Amino acid sequence: MVDWLVIQFHTQLGFSIVLLLVVIPAVLTGVGYSTYFERKVSAWLQDRHGPNRAGPLGLLQPVADGVKFLLKEDFMPAGADRPLYILAPMLSMGIAMLGLAVIPWGGSYQPAGLAEPLQVQVAGLDIGLLYLLAVGALGVYGVVLAGWSSNNKYAFYGGLRAAAQMVSYEIPLGLSILVIVLASGQLRLENIVEQQTALWWGFLPQWNIFLHPVSFIIMFTCVLAETNRAPFDLAECEQELVGGFHTEYNAMKWAMFFLGEYTHMIVGSAFMVCLFFGGWHVPGLAAEQTTLWGVLLQLAVMGAKISIFIFVFMWIRWTLPRFRFDQLMRLCWKGLLPVSLALALVVVVELFFNVPRSYWSLIGEVGVVAVALVAVSLFRIPVTGRQWYLPDLDNRTPLRGGSV
């Protein structure tokens, strides 16, 4: 047994285990500080101070919150389905963490005296991308079960909304990922990242964002919807549903939903960074670094890119108002889905003419958007906003004291 452990420690398996022991606490700490960050960002956007009592600059606030969650009375509604009520937050958090396994955090590390470099990745699956997609599809269960088992109609509505929303947004998400898969011809995340480390004209990194900006916007929208973040947080819409699916939750169980949401955000951001922003690639450095310091630098750059995404998530949350549910569904089925299908078709055409990952990609994407805009305006296709088949504005009963 000891021999086996010693042998494993110098191989990918041992390294993966060590990495797992590093990644999970790091991500959980990151999640804790994301909540702090979220409150600071919201305060900044609303011209307030935000948390500033616990520790310098309020930096100990997540710790204080954690203690509070653990010490709070843990009660359960009388009519709840006990096992499912307890299971739901666990599923929510556990499933969100599954995605961490395939994300390439920092390229590969070549220690002295080892024949093959070690991948800085817990599991280098052949189909890492599909795995992330599959795991993302499971995220709906925690929310749905929470809504159902609480025996509360608001929670139940929240759960149903979340289910409908996540199932719908998975489709454009998958299609926009398909664009990258087709263009790069890879399903391994680390290979997709590696492909983006080359340079154009000696200085511009070949990140997919420059080639497929529209796919990126679609994917970003879908990730927002999949993580149930504003403006798509209809599952926990306070004005209509009290607290949505977590109305009946408190203490650590509620905190686990929160942790799950932020972990999902981190995984989603890492996913987008890998697909569109060159993953661990440092713009100034052309090639992959395999020394210890190089790997650490790449890890830091990956972390910085993820942090920028999380900031954008928060920025959007505290800036944009929430969608109405019918608008949400229409945006997905009539807006994102046709456009992402068209983008996938365009990439197939590029593959046919053997010009993927060239300026033709950008032309194709822009062309699709132009055609979509022309079609929407010419045929007056309703994508968001008020619909022609809803009651006519002019025939409404006028409000007292004025016309409509």
* Chain positions contacting another protein, by CB under 8 A: 1, 4, 8, 13, 79-81, 83-84, 87, 125-127, 130-131, 133-135, 137-138, 140-141, 144-145, 148-149, 151, 156, 159-160, 163, 167, 170, 187
Nearest residue (CB) to another protein, 86 versus 199: 86
C-alpha to C-alpha distance for 59 and 55, rounded to whole angstroms: 6
CB neighbours (10 Å) of residue 126?
A: 11
Residue 199 pairs in a beta bridge with 205
Nearest residue (CB) to another protein, 96 versus 301: 96
CB 34, min distance to another protein, A: 26
Nearest residue (CB) to another protein, 127 versus 286: 127
CB 301, min distance to another protein, A: 28
CB 241, min distance to another protein, A: 15
CB 15, min distance to another protein, A: 14
CB 58, min distance to another protein, A: 39
C-alpha to C-alpha distance for 13 and 3, rounded to whole angstroms: 14
C-alpha to C-alpha distance for 337 and 341, rounded to whole angstroms: 6
DSSP 8-state class, residue 206: -
Nearest residue (CB) to another protein, 1 versus 399: 1
CB 90, min distance to another protein, A: 12
Nearest residue (CB) to another protein, 55 versus 83: 83
Nearest residue (CB) to another protein, 163 versus 223: 163
Q: Are 50 and 44 in contact, with CB atoms under 8 Å apart?
A: yes
Closest listed residue to residue 135, CA positions, set 109, 106, 97: 97
Q: Which two structure tokens, joined as six digits, stand for 337?
A: 């889905």
Q: Which two structure tokens, joined as six digits, stand for 50?
A: 């935000």
Nearest residue (CB) to another protein, 83 versus 111: 83
DSSP 8-state class, residue 354: T
C-alpha to C-alpha distance for 221 and 129, rounded to whole angstroms: 18
DSSP string, 54-117: SSGGGTTHHHHHHHHHHHS-----TTS-HHHHHHHHHHHHHHHHHGGGG---S-EE--TT-SSP
DSSP 8-state class, residue 384: S
Nearest residue (CB) to another protein, 191 versus 206: 191
What does each C-alpha distance from 53 to 34, 56, 62, 125 come to in angstroms? Answer: 17, 7, 12, 45
Amino acid at 337: L
CB 126, min distance to another protein, A: 5
CB 134, min distance to another protein, A: 4
What does each C-alpha distance from 390 to 12, 189, 328, 344 come to in angstroms? Answer: 59, 45, 16, 32
Q: Which two structure tokens, joined as six digits, stand for 360?
A: 């033709």
What does each C-alpha distance from 137 to 95, 96, 190, 228, 367 come to in angstroms? Answer: 10, 10, 22, 13, 31
CB 184, min distance to another protein, A: 14
Backbone angles phi, psi at 355, to 5 degrees: -125, 45
Nearest residue (CB) to another protein, 170 versus 365: 170
How many angstroms separate the first and last alpha carbons of the chain? 80
Nearest residue (CB) to another protein, 131 versus 280: 131
CB 142, min distance to another protein, A: 11
C-alpha to C-alpha distance for 34 and 21, rounded to whole angstroms: 20
